[in-house]
């Protein structure tokens, strides 16, 4: 990606410090595919450094140790977003940033957990503040809804269970897409217009954030992260099948082959199902 800015300004850094925001980190798994994690602790410690605090274990923490290339997105409560990419470099278990995290009310007064590790990343580039175009988002979501009935319901297998399909089919749900760019870095951006059309396929129109959406090539492996304001979340992954017109509406279609429950207390793979293993070591 050719980002507009190579560092953050003071106002950006101050905005990121707010604990109530959406922070998403895109990483690359061992198979070379994108993964998305919700990290409200995502912020900047200085104009050229991105940090995040760890208080639970998860796949993103494993991924950055294998491949330091990451993408990130931050959305503030006033619907401004920043997107960018960074290289993971190291961790610390003490210091100024460690203390700052654990002095936030969310962690300072929590009897069960606090930030135990701070992760550091060198900024590659970022978009600068972009106001989420709500009128375009709503219009694009409505167009996706109109196109959905024209997507075939005759599919060979059920991938998303009824809860996941309904959750990702909501008009007002938040969705975000991640893919890996030509430089080998993941990128993550809003795709709120995306909606499940059946239990295996997700449709999205191209009329919002078209500078990202319209450039996706057929065959691209993609991840889509869905979340609600009640902090319900799910992550799916699949292959982008390209663009076609349905009822005159240009839509892209993501064919899902992997589903992951990203919600605590027990995140885990839902599809393909994994065999239960007996516990033999107590």
Residues 114, 160: one domain?
no
Q: b/e per residue, 230-255, with b = 16+ CB within 10 A?
A: eeebbbbbbebeeeeebeebebbbbe
Per-residue pLDDT, averaged over 31-41, amounts to: 95
Q: Are residues 29 and 113 in the same domain?
A: yes
Considering the domain architecture, whether residues 75 and 147 belong to the same structural domain is answered as no
Q: Which domain holds residue 172?
A: 133-268
Maximal CA-CA distance, the chain: 60
Which of 222, 17, 211, 186 has its CA nearest to residue 85?
Answer: 186
The predicted structure's pLDDT at residue 280: 66
Query: If we measure between CA atoms, which residue out of 128, 177, 101, 121 comes closest to residue 9?
Result: 128
Number of domains in the chain: 2
**What's residue 158's pLDDT?**
92
- Give yes or no: residues 34 and 126 share one domain: yes
238 and 115 in a common domain: no
Shared domain for 125 and 142, answered yes or no, is no
Cβ contact 250:219 at 8 Å: no
β-pairing, 221-227 with 233-246? antiparallel
Q: Summarize pLDDT for 78-123 with one digit per residue, the tens.
A: 999 999 999 999 999 999 999 888 887 766 555 456 788 999 999 9
Instruction: Indicate if 225 and 260 belong to the same structural domain.
Output: yes
Do 47 and 13 contact (CB within 8 A), yes or no? yes
Q: Would you say residue 21 lies in a domain?
A: yes
* HEC sequence for the chain: CCCCECCCCHHHHHHHCCCCCEEEEEEECCCCCEEEEECCCCEEEECCEEEEEECCCCHHHHHHHHCCEEEEEEECCCCEEEEEEEEEEEEECCCHHHHHHHCCHHHHCCCCCCCCEEEEEEEEEECCCEECCHHHHHHHHHHHHHHHHHCCCCCCCCCCCHHHHHHHCCCCCEEEEEEECCCCCEEEEECCCCEECCCCEEEEECCCCHHHHCCCCCCCEEEEEEECCCCCEEEEEEEEEEEEEECCEEEEEEEEEEEEECCCCCCEEEECCCCCCCCCCC
Residue 139 in tokens: 């219009």
Are residue 121 and residue 137 in the same domain, yes or no? no
Q: How confident is the model at residue 62 (pLDDT cuts 50, 70, 90)?
A: very high
Query: Does 264 score more than 80 pLDDT?
Result: no
CATH number of the structural domain spanning residue 103: 2.30.110.10
Percent residues over pLDDT 90 in the chain: 76
4 burial level (CB within 10 Å; 0-12, 13-18, 19+): exposed
Task: Decide if pLDDT at 42 tops 60.
Answer: yes
68 plus 20 within the same structural domain: yes
Residue 279 lies in a domain: no
pLDDT of residue 196 exceeding 50:
yes
Answer whether residue 281 is part of any domain.
no
Give yes or no: residues 118 and 148 share one domain: no
Q: Which residue has the higher pLDDT, 19 or 200?
A: 200
Averaged pLDDT for residues 158-173? 94
Mean pLDDT for all residues in the chain: 92
Domain contains 280 = no
pLDDT digits (tens, 9 = 90+) for 134-153: 999 999 999 999 999 999 88
Q: Which residues pair with 144 in a beta bridge?
A: none
Given this model, what pLDDT does residue 279 score? 63
Closest to 173 in 3D by CA, of 184, 182, 163, 183: 163
Q: pTM of whole model > 0.75?
A: yes
Please indicate, yes or no, if residue 4 is contained in any of the structural domains: no
- pLDDT bracket for residue 278 (50, 70, 90): low
Rounded Cα distance, 154 and 143, in Å: 22
pLDDT average, residue stretch 275-280? 64
The per-residue pLDDT for range 215-255, each reduced to its tens digit, is 899 999 999 999 998 889 999 999 999 999 998 999 999 99
Residues 144 and 258 in one domain: yes
Find, among 62, 57, 1, 72, the residue nearest to 31 by Cα: 62
């Amino acid at each position: 990606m050719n980002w507009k800015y190579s560092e953050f300004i003071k106002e950006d850094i101050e905005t990121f410090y707010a604990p109530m925001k959406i922070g998403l980190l895109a990483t690359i798994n061992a198979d070379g595919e994108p993964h998305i994690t919700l990290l409200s602790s995502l912020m900047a410690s200085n104009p050229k450094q991105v940090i995040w605090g760890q208080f639970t274990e998860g796949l993103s923490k494993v991924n950055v140790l294998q491949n330091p290339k990451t993408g990130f997105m931050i959305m503030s409560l006033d619907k401004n977003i920043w997107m960018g990419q960074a290289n993971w470099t190291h961790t610390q278990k003490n210091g100024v940033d460690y203390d700052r995290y654990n002095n936030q009310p969310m962690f300072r007064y929590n009897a069960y957990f606090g930030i135990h590790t701070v992760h550091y990343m060198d900024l590659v580039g970022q978009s600068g503040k972009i106001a989420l175009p709500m009128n375009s988002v709503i219009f694009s979501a409505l167009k996706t809804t109109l196109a959905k009935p024209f997507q075939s319901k005759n599919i060979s297998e059920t991938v998303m269970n009824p809860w996941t399909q309904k959750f990702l089919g909501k008009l007002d749900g938040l969705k975000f897409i991640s893919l890996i760019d030509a430089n080998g870095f993941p990128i993550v951006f809003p795709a709120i217009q995306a909606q499940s059309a059946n239990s295996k396929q997700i449709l999205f129109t191209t009329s919002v954030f078209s500078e990202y959406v319209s450039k996706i090539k057929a065959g691209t492996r993609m991840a889509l992260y869905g979340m609600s304001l009640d902090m319900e979340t799910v992550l799916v992954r699949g292959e982008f099948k390209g663009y076609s017109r349905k009822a005159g509406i240009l839509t892209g279609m993501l064919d899902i082959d992997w589903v992951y429950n990203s919600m605590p207390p027990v995140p885990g793979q839902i599809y393909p199902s994994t065999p239960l293993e007996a516990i033999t070591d107590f």
